Structure 1
């Protein structure tokens, strides 16, 4: 068996500034840069070009997708950091893993968390079946009365095949 890993990282200091997440109940796909900015993607599961079309970071929500290379029992990991001032603006932060986030979304591991003093930092892990024709995403939301900035995020898929 071979371990397959796609490990993505967004860092506002390195990747052109924070990702602004609009206020409201809607979830938004976290977007990740391509190429050298990625932590690891030997199987090309996070490709700029998919099905003949480019999906540029950060303008295209598809830049947040991982396309599993095999059918498998997969393990998902995420780490999310919101701007420092966000705890005073929001009382709840939301995140979830989702299959096919830009199509017929199938959500799992949805968490709603209260704000805490200082920066809002969260980590999570979950296991699900993954399929090559069904992309995976990490989505976030909050209940602040203004947009909030996501400053660091990581999204990882690992499986044996």
Structure 2
């Protein structure tokens, strides 16, 4: 299994009624030994957190069943709806999945989510958030995690520990 765990504890301002890709620093990861979230992108361009939106991408290191998890903390606000979704290729042709629409509770908003999808190298993943307050609001903390379980080929090689 391959794993990438990102966290951002710096406030991110989210403008109303606009899906926004959350960004993650390159030096605060819990785990990225497979190089799925690096400042040097697969196209060779170097990006900076938080300036560049590419700092919100995880680039899967292998094809497989991707287990995505997220944790999102919003500041208190005058929301009537908060949304979040996982997305393939968020800066290209977005393919969204696991969109949650949430009615907020009083005070701050703390959410977690989990979803499974097929992931492939060359197709980055990200986490979009949205709110409908009348003014910008902050995501005060976020996590995005991907674990990849290689797919077994029916009747073929089912892999070994060295393949993980």
TM-score of the superposed pair, with normalisation by structure 2: 0.89
Cα displacement string for residues 83-107 of structure 1 (whole angstroms, at most 9, x for unaligned residues): 1x22xx1111000000000000000
Unmatched 5+ stretches in structure 2: 151-164
TM-score of the superposed pair, with normalisation by structure 1: 0.90
Of 135, 138, 144, 2:133 maps to 144
- The corresponding residue for 1:42 is 33
Q: Which has the larger radius of gyration?
A: 2
Unmatched 5+ stretches in structure 1: 13-17
Moved beyond 3 Å, runs of 4+? none
Cα displacement string for residues 54-107 of structure 1 (whole angstroms, at most 9, x for unaligned residues): 111001111000000001011000000001x22xx1111000000000000000
Q: CA RMSD in A?
A: 0.8
Pairwise mapping of residues 97-112 of structure 1 onto structure 2 (< 5 A)?
Answer: 97-112=86-101
| Bigger proportion of residues as strand | 1
Provide the C-alpha distance between the structure 2 equivalents of 1:71 and 1:115, rounded to a whole number of angstroms: 36
The alpha carbon displacement at 1:160 in A equals: 2.2
Residues paired across the two proteins, number:
149
Provide the C-alpha distance between the structure 2 equivalents of 1:101 and 1:27, rounded to a whole number of angstroms: 10
- The corresponding residue for 2:16 is 23
